[in-house]
Amino acid sequence: MAKTIVVKQIGSPIRRPQEQRATLIGLGLNKMHKTRELEDTPSVRGMVNKIPHLVEIIEERG
């Protein structure tokens, strides 16, 4: 089974640059306190690292 991470949105995209909003949408997040389970790949980790003030990693599985 592939490794996964659970990501939660903790910040609002209001008054943020369009690039940060697009990163949130790319992760499948767009509303406060939503969570998503995503594959633990370098591209997903890079997206999370670009917006650490908007998301947090809750859990790592696998």
Q: Is the dihedral of CA 39, 45, 46, 49 positive or negative?
A: positive
Q: How far apart are CA 13 and CA 22, in angstroms?
A: 10
- Which CATH entry fits the domain spanning 4-61: 3.30.70.580, 3.90.1150.10, 3.40.50.300, 3.30.1390.20? 3.30.1390.20
10-29: pLDDT as tens digits: 999 999 999 999 999 999 99
Backbone phi and psi for residue 60, each to the nearest 5 degrees, phi listed first: -115, 125
Q: At 44, is the pLDDT very low, low, confident or very high (cuts 50, 70, 90)?
A: very high
E strands, 1-62, in order: 4-9, 35-39, 55-61
Query: What percent of the chain is modeled with pLDDT above 70?
Result: 98
> Among all chains, which residue has been given the structure tokens 């640059």?
17
Domain spans of the chain, in order of start: 4-61
